[in-house]
Amino acid sequence: MSHHCKNLLVRCMDFRLTREMNKWMEKRGYIGDCDLVSLAGAGKAIADGTPEGEMLLSQIALSAKLHHSSCVALVHHSQCGAYAGAYSFANAEEEKEKQVSDMKKAAEIIKAKNPGISVKFIWANLQDDDGREIEFEEID
């Protein structure tokens, strides 16, 4: 039996994202049409070249092989502990700029290792510390 999905969504493991992200995924048609991987910092590990990044790259390749996924959606978010532990940002905009830069670097690596896969960048901006309200933005 063959199972197919178009997308692989890579998100941070932060529990604060779960409720609102599930609603966002449902609205955008990801539920039932995506593999899902959660890793602290999401694409940061790929951009940093860590062993966890290699593991994530293997999950992307496996999704493409087994489920014929053709698009990776990298979801990063504000107030991310994986970034706060590594950097001291002057403000929220500086944090976002660094994370978007890392998403773009991760995308280059993903595409080099998986020709034919496209990559989307999703920014989840927490409006409160608990994740009760999150604004999602697709970044070009």
* 95-123 per-position pLDDT tens digit: 999 999 999 999 999 999 999 999 999 99
Beta carbons of 74 and 122 less than 8 angstroms apart: yes
Beta carbons of 90 and 73 less than 8 angstroms apart: no
Mean pLDDT for the chain overall: 94
SS3 of residue 124 by DSSP: strand
Q: Is the pLDDT of residue 78 over 60?
A: yes
The neighbour count for residue 131, using CB atoms within 10 Å, is: 19
Q: Alpha helix locations (H) across 5-133?
A: 18-28, 44-48, 51-67, 81-84, 92-113
Q: So what's the pLDDT on residue 34?
A: 95
Q: 48 CB contacts (<8 Å, ≥6 apart)?
A: 102
The angle subtended at Cα 15 by Cα 11 and Cα 18, nearest 5°, is: 65
